[in-house]
Structure 1
Amino acid sequence: MAVRALGRPAVRHRLVTGAWQRVHLRVLVTHSGPLSPPQTRWAAVLHAGADAVLSHATAAELGGLQGFPSRTIHVSVPNAHQAPAVPGVRVHRRRGLGADGILPAVRPHRMRIEHALLDMASTATSEDAARAVLAAGVQQRLTTAARLRAVLDRLVRVRWRRLISETLADVEGGSHSLPELRFVRALRAASIPLPDRQVARQRASGRWYLDAHWEHARLTVEIDGTGHLDPRTWLADLARGNELTLAGDRVLRFPSFAVRDHPDDVVAHIALALTSPLTNTIMTTRGQVAATAATYTLNRVI
């Protein structure tokens, strides 16, 4: 385009003198300074050719995803297209790159968040990495498990389809982080009944959500990541745990690394709590306490 507009000698002169710079084989920049992030992304899309769109981690980050930065710019093109390999750019060829998966109102065009997240999951380097990105997308309120599943059902070829489908089912059930997903997998492997997840509780200190709760056993399990080491978070955790205990619940806390590295120990503690005679005692005691409270109230009225 530059050659057609100015002629080859004029373009060559600008490149030789350093007024312009060549970023990729077919991409020139009309200044000599460093490229801004938007210019770098534009250059990658132009290099990939017609119908190229930003995808995978690049599109997801632009769509708001946090915690999964990528130094590589990811671009997707229709399956028949070819683009030379260049440093810092990864070109993905895929079938069925339909318009419904592209955000047409942004420039350069990029994949919608659901497609970007599923692409990241299907090209992840491990099963845990695939699970983590799906959970994060929902936890950060960028999309929902239902919308991800609707897109997944329309895609023809997806690596780890079963894994992704199972992860979405767990996310729908309330598992919103990788440690919580690992926790559910460990429970399933041990044939332990799954708890209710992200159970809302309203107490004097405010509203919060329990990671896992077995109501029949009055058992609550909290899975603590590194963020819970912050003193203010730790104190808030203690206060919530005390309120739950005073309300009649038992509370077990596990660090996320224990769920990852020692799932058998975690499961053993939970199995013991669920099968302990104390569970039946708690249920009986709850009825006795309720009866005693009613009698006390009646006597006060009389």
Structure 2
Amino acid sequence: MRELLDRQLGLVCAAQLRSLGLDYRVARRWVAAGRWQRPYPGVYATFSGPLDRAAHIWAAILWVTPEAVASHATAAELDGLTGRIDDRIHVTAPVSRRVRAHADGVVVHYAHRLPLTRHPTANPPRTRLEDTVLDLVDVAVRARDVESVVTMAVQKRLTTSPRLAAALMRRKKIRWRAMAESMLLDVAEGAQSPLELQHLRAVERAHHLPRGCRQRRHAGDRVIWIDVDYGPYHTRVELDGRLGHDGEGRFRDRRRDNAATVSGAWTLRYGHSEIFGEPCRVAQEQARVLHDRGWAGQPRRCGSDCPIP
């Protein structure tokens, strides 16, 4: 009993009590006496103080079934992939265990292949991080949300593009599959954020511009990272999201741009409004600079409204 409670952060369900030979009526008496508490029907906390977040998650899992795991936004929160983006607790159970009751704040999902996606050692139990990412992809409403969760997982070094791709191959059905497969290829090529992915697709690929080298490490007096480097044409593109480009970051960007100019490279700098709002204009401007720097190709129109002639 003590070993079980240590693992489950002081939580136990009625079925586990029965398996240990304990009468659940004893648990009811302890709840009535204020020594224990009952956060969900049939689930007991063997202490009288408040439950922290991890204990609440354990309680929700035990309410569904001890074979269940935290998943989706809850698993992402536990693994540090995201902050708490949903106060509800998401739990995935085997399809053989259908929950007919309802508990406030608990969302129950079902999976055929839960033993394969369950993390072997994590506490509270949860899905493996790659499967957590794909679960969030599957329930995403917007394409932008798919981009954010995949790039965030790789950017935080919680997983890799090949591991995500392998997990995706094991799934028969998933929403946004085509986009996820394309994104994993893009991330493997070095694109690090939704802004960089949008530049890769909507500016460079859509208008047949030269292929740039992404996230190139340049070591001089100081190590710098170049978002997109068109080395043969001495042109760089810096993509500025809000984070990292205010305060000291702004001065760092100026020093980097000035150093590039001194070395003969030109720098074009764009933000979200240009890359997402005017990708065709960005492509047209970028093509002109590349032409001036020796590119002999021609950009192509991406559609009937594209301003490129």
SS of match in other structure, 1:111: coil
Query: Is contact 1:57–1:117 with CA below 8 Å preserved after alignment?
Result: no
Query: Is contact 2:234–2:293 with CA below 8 Å preserved after alignment?
Result: yes
In structure 2, give the amino acid aligned to 1:223: L
Aligned twin of 2:293: 279
Distance 1:252 1:76, change over 3 A: same
Point out where structure 2 has 5 or more consecutive residues left out of the alignment. Answer: 1-13, 296-309
Distance in 2 (alpha carbons) for counterparts of 1:217 and 1:44: 58
Instruction: Verify: 1:176 aligned to 2:192, yes or no.
Output: yes
In the alignment of these two chains, the number of paired residues is 276
Aligned twin of 2:214: 197
Instruction: Verify: 1:153 aligned to 2:169, yes or no.
Output: yes
Counterpart of 1:98 (choices 109, 115, 123) is 115
Query: Which TM-score applies when normalising by structure 2?
Result: 0.82
Aligned twin of 2:75: 59
Sequence identity (%): 33
- CA positional deviation for 1:244: 1.0
Distance in 1 (alpha carbons) for counterparts of 2:223 and 2:191: 18
Give the structure with the larger helix fraction: 1
Distance 1:45 1:67, change over 3 A: closer
Distance 1:228 1:63, change over 3 A: closer
Aligned twin of 1:89: 106
Distance 1:67 1:221, change over 3 A: farther
Counterpart of 2:126 (choices 90, 104, 110) is 110
Aligned twin of 1:166: 182
SS of match in other structure, 2:178: helix
- For each residue in 1:152-202, what CA deviation from the matched residue of structure 2 results, as whole angstroms up to 9, or x when unmatched? 111111111111000101100111111111111212223333311111111
- CA positional deviation for 1:85: 3.3
Aligned twin of 1:268: 284
Q: Which runs of 4+ in 1 moved over 6 A?
A: none
SS of match in other structure, 2:281: helix
Distance 1:7 1:22, change over 3 A: closer
In structure 1, give the amino acid aligned to 2:124: P
Point out where structure 1 has 5 or more consecutive residues left out of the alignment. Answer: 282-302
Distance 1:197 1:43, change over 3 A: same
RMSD of aligned Cα (Å): 2.2
Instruction: Verify: 1:136 aligned to 2:136, yes or no.
Output: no
Which stretch shifts more, 233-242 or 181-190? 181-190
SS of match in other structure, 1:5: coil
Radius of gyration: which is bigger? Answer: 1
In structure 2, give the amino acid aligned to 1:268: Q
- CA positional deviation for 1:87: 2.4
Distance in 2 (alpha carbons) for counterparts of 1:96 and 1:45: 17
Which stretch shifts more, 17-26 or 132-141? 17-26
